[in-house]
Amino acid sequence: MPQIFVTQQDGRQLTLEVPSGRRLMEALRDGGTTVEGTCGGACSCGSCHVYVDDAWLARLTEVETDEREMIEAIGDVIEVRPTSRLACQIQMSDALDGLTLTIAEAI
């Protein structure tokens, strides 16, 4: 089962095991982080915004139009970086074992 390494907003770090096929947002929401996943994975709220470690960006699926537009929209109220992703749009797989990310500030 893939593991992810998470830095929370307050700097605390934790490791979570995430079954392949599960959305990253669900694992973060259920794993005791500040990620809410308010829209349930519909890519319409931005409450699962994370900063993915640079080394992992190339291993993720490409950012689709809906995700790009949501990230641009939340950029009006919180910091958006080149490594910004919505965790609801990342489906875990064995290839993502070791994924490292930081949870962005809440909107």
pLDDT digits (tens, 9 = 90+) for 79-101: 999 999 999 999 999 999 999 99
Domain tally for the chain?
1
CATH of the domain at 95: 3.10.20.30
pLDDT of residue 88: 97
Residue 107 pLDDT level (bands cut at 50, 70, 90): confident
Instruction: Kindly state the average pLDDT of the residues 21-30.
Output: 97
Determine what percent of the chain is predicted with pLDDT higher than 70.
100
Q: Is 48 exposed, middle or buried (0-12, 13-18, 19+ CB in 10 A)?
A: buried
- Give per-residue pLDDT as tens, 34-88: 999 999 999 999 999 999 999 999 999 999 999 999 999 999 999 999 999 999 9
What is the value of pTM for the model shown?
Answer: 0.95
DSSP state of 99: E
Q: Give me the domain span that covers residue 41.
A: 3-103
State the Cα angle at 51 between 91 and 88, rounded to 5°. 30
SS3 7: strand
The Cα 9–Cα 68 span in angstroms is: 22
